[in-house]
A and B are shown apart, each in its own frame.
Chain A
Amino acid sequence: MLDRLYEWYQIAHAAPSDETITKRQASVTNLVETLTSEDSYDLLTACTAAAVTGFESGFAQDSPLVQAAVKAIREHQPAFPQDLSENALELRALCSVTLGEIISKRDDDDALPCASLLVAALPMQPEANGRHLQRVLDELYAAACTRLENTARTRRRRRGGSVDKLANIDVPADVAAFWGQLQPLLKSCLDELQDDAAADREELEILWWLYAGYSRTAKKPIRDLKPGEAALRCGTELANLVMIPATDSARQMVRRAVEEGRGEAGQSEIPVEGIIQQWTAKMLELLAPNEGSEAWLPDQYPALLPLSWLCRRLRESRNKSACATEFESRTGVSAKHSSSAGDWGVQVFNERVAQRFYKDLLEE
C-alpha cells in the first residue's frame, strides 16, 4: 500500500514532509524484503499482530519485529528513536503499510496466511482510538478480503485447453519423441481435470451440507442446536470442507446455515460471555484441536484468533467466568462484545480457515 503511505502515515505525523515520506517508502521496501526473505513465517505473523493491536502490549523492546522495523527506518533516518515508548505508533504505521504492500502487490502466496489472519482478527477488535487509525485498519481489512477473494476465484476457475492441444498433437514416427511430447500434455490435462474436479467436489459437498441442514459433528439438524452451538459447529464444519482460501460466498453460507429456521431470534445478539455458556467441553476441540505440539499461533497472538484462544483456554480451565475476564485482557476484545449467531459463525469460520493456512505452512 505504498500508494496510501502519506494518508496512513498521518496517524503518526500531522503533515509529513516529502522527505519523510521518501525515507519511509525506502523503509517499507526494506522491511518487505526482510519479512518475505525469512524462512519462517514468524516475523510476518508478528507484523500482522502489530498492525492489528499495535506495539503497546505483547511486544518487548528486543523482540525481532521491533528490531527489524527500527532498523528499516534507521537505515534512512539514523536519528529515529528506538525506544518503544517513543515510537510505537510510527512502527505500527510502518508495519501496516508493509503488510498492505505484501498483501496487495506481491503475487506469491506469502500474503495469504496473513491476509487470512487480518480477516479473522479485525472484525472483532474494538474500534481504534482515532478515526484515522481506524481508516488504516479498515483499508487493510478491505485489501486482505480483496486478495483472498481474488485468489479464491482464480483457484476455482475451470481451465480446460489442454484437451484441445491433445487433439491437435502432431504424431511423429519416433515413439520416444512422441512420448516426450505427449507426457507433459497428458499431465497438464489430468492436473486440470483434477483441479476442476476438486472445485466441483467442493461445490457439491458444500451445497449438500447446506441443503441437508445437518451438523455432522453434532449428529443433529442444525436448527435443533442452540444458536451459539450452531455458530461453532457450522463455522468449523464448513471451514474444514472448503478449499483455502475460501470464497466470500462460503461465509454467507455459514451465516445462512446458522440462521435458517430461527426467524428473528436468530438475529439477536449474543455476547462472548453468553456464547461460551452454550459450548460444551467436547465442542471446544472443534476450534482448538490437538494438532501437534508446535507453538500454537493463538497462544502467541491471542488478538489475531481470539475465539480460538478462548476455546483452548476453556479446555485448560473449566472456569468460564475467569476465562471471559482473561479474554479481554489478552485479546483486547470485551467479553461483552456481541454479535448475531450468524456473525459468530462467520468469525469461527474465518478463524478455522486461518488455522488451516498455518497448519499447511508448518507442514511445508
Chain B
Amino acid sequence: MRTGSSVLLVGGPDAGKTNFLCRIWLSINEGTSILRANGLPEDLEYLEEGSARLLAGEFAPHTPSDVHSRNIIPVKYEEGDEHFTGKLVVPDCSGEIWLRIYEKREWSEQWEELISEECGCLIFVRADSDQIVAPLDWISCAKLFGVPTGTPPEVEEVAPTQVVLVDWLQCLRDAFTDRVGGAFRPRVGIVVSAWDLVPEDQQERDPEEYLATNFPMFQQFLEANTVQFDFATFGVSVVGGDLKSQPNFRDTYLSGKPLESGFVVYRVNDTICRSSDLTVPLVWAMGLTNLRGMTR
C-alpha cells in the first residue's frame, strides 16, 4: 500500500495555485473535507502565511519568483474500499517558474524527483485574469504579413496562455514516459480558478465548455489526448466570491464561516456536480476517487 502521493500545482502567474493550496489546507486541517489531516506538517510557515490572509478576508499575494515551497501534509482518506494514510506533497512556486520552464525548456531536480506513479497534476488557469494572453487573431496576423520586411512587429513575443498550457502538458508527458513508462496515464486535473467570475449563466455548466470557448486549442488537446492522460476539469472558487472587487462580499464572508466558503464544480457523466469540498480535485489527482462516487 502506498504511503505517499504528490500533486504538482502547475500554472502561470495569478493562476490561483497558492490560494487553492492554502484554502484546501484549511479544509484538511479543520476536518471539513473528505481528505483529512493525520497530524500537522513539520513546516507550516508557507501554508499558514497564505491561510492567514484568507482568514483575514484577503487573497494570498503574488508568490515571489524565488519561492519554491515543498509542503508535505500528513493526510488520511477513507471512502468505501479506498483508504490512504500517508504524506501528501504539494509543491508550490511562483507562476514565473513555470513560465521559465516553457522558455528555457528545462526543469530541475526538484520537479524531476516528483514524477512517479504516485504523482498527479493540477493545471490552473484563472477566469478573467489579466495575465491571460489571448492567441494571435486573424486581423493582427494579417497586418503582420502585410507589413514590409524589416518593419518591427506590432505585437510582443508573448506566448498565448493556451500555447503554454499545451506545452506544459507535452513536457509532463515526456517526463512521465521517461520515468514511469509510455503506457502510464497520469491524472491531470484542469482547474479553472475564480469560477465565481465566470458569467453566471455559465457557472452551472461544464467547466470544459468554458475552456472550449476561451482556450479552444487547449480544450481540443484535452479531447484528443485521453489515451495519453486521464483528464478531469474543475471550476473552483476558493471563497465563493471576489474578496477584492465584489461589493460587500468581503464583509459577508468575514461575518460568516470562511472555513465553509468556496465550492468546486465538475461533471460526472451528464451531471454537473457542485461541492463545498474543495479537496475534490486534489483527491481525484491523487487517484483516490473517480468522481463518480462524489456526486453529492
Q: So, do A and B actually touch in the complex, CB under 8 Å? A: yes
Residue numbers of A with Cβ under 8 A of B are 61, 83-86
Main secondary structure of the interface of B (DSSP, over half): loop
Binds A, one of B80-88, B122-130, B153-161, B175-183: B175-183
The number of residue pairs between A and B whose CB atoms lie closer than 8 Å in the complex comes to 15
A61-B182 Cα distance, complex, nearest whole Å:
9
Can you give 8 A-B contacts (C-beta < 8 A)?
A83-B177, A83-B178, A83-B181, A83-B182, A84-B183, A85-B181, A85-B183, A86-B177
Interface residues of B in 141-184 (CB under 8 A from A): 177-178, 181-183
Residue numbers of B with Cβ under 8 A of A are 177-178, 181-183
Q: Is the CB of B177 within 8 A of A61?
A: no
Specify which chain B residues have a CB less than 8 angstroms from the CB of A86 in the assembled complex: 177, 182
Specify which chain A residues have a CB less than 8 angstroms from the CB of B177 in the assembled complex: 83, 85-86
Main secondary structure of the interface of A (DSSP, over half): helix
Specify which chain A residues have a CB less than 8 angstroms from the CB of B181 in the assembled complex: 61, 83, 85
Specify which chain A residues have a CB less than 8 angstroms from the CB of B178 in the assembled complex: 83
A346-B181 Cα distance, complex, nearest whole Å:
43
Q: How far is the CB of A57 from chain B (nearest CB, A)?
A: 12
A119-B177 Cα distance, complex, nearest whole Å:
36
**Nearest CB in chain B to that of A84: its residue:** B182
The residue in B178, B182, B183 that gathers the most chain A C-beta atoms within 10 A of its C-beta is B182
Which 10 A-B pairs have CB atoms at the shortest separation, nearest pair first? A85-B182, A83-B182, A85-B177, A83-B177, A84-B182, A83-B181, A86-B182, A86-B177, A61-B183, A61-B181
Q: How far is the CB of A64 from chain B (nearest CB, A)?
A: 18
A61-B177 Cα distance, complex, nearest whole Å:
13
Q: How far is the CB of A91 from chain B (nearest CB, A)?
A: 13
In the complex, besides A83-B178, A84-B182, A85-B183, 5 extra interface pairs with C-beta distance below 8 angstroms are: A61-B181, A61-B183, A83-B182, A85-B181, A85-B182
Q: How far is the CB of B185 from chain A (nearest CB, A)?
A: 11
A182-B178 Cα distance, complex, nearest whole Å:
70
Specify which chain B residues have a CB less than 8 angstroms from the CB of A84 in the assembled complex: 182-183
A236-B202 Cα distance, complex, nearest whole Å:
64
Q: How far is the CB of A92 from chain B (nearest CB, A)?
A: 15
A86-B176 Cα distance, complex, nearest whole Å:
12
Q: How far is the CB of A354 from chain B (nearest CB, A)?
A: 31
Specify which chain B residues have a CB less than 8 angstroms from the CB of A85 in the assembled complex: 177, 181-183
A86-B177 Cα distance, complex, nearest whole Å:
9
A85-B176 Cα distance, complex, nearest whole Å:
11
**Nearest CB in chain B to that of A88: its residue:** B182
A143-B177 Cα distance, complex, nearest whole Å:
37
**Nearest CB in chain A to that of B173: its residue:** A85
A342-B183 Cα distance, complex, nearest whole Å:
42
A84-B181 Cα distance, complex, nearest whole Å:
9
Q: How far is the CB of A54 from chain B (nearest CB, A)?
A: 15
A259-B220 Cα distance, complex, nearest whole Å:
51
**Nearest CB in chain B to that of A87: its residue:** B182
Q: How far is the CB of A70 from chain B (nearest CB, A)?
A: 13
Q: How far is the CB of B178 from chain A (nearest CB, A)?
A: 8
A282-B282 Cα distance, complex, nearest whole Å:
58
A84-B177 Cα distance, complex, nearest whole Å:
10
A63-B182 Cα distance, complex, nearest whole Å:
15
Specify which chain B residues have a CB less than 8 angstroms from the CB of A61 in the assembled complex: 181-183
Q: How far is the CB of A55 from chain B (nearest CB, A)?
A: 11
A86-B183 Cα distance, complex, nearest whole Å:
10
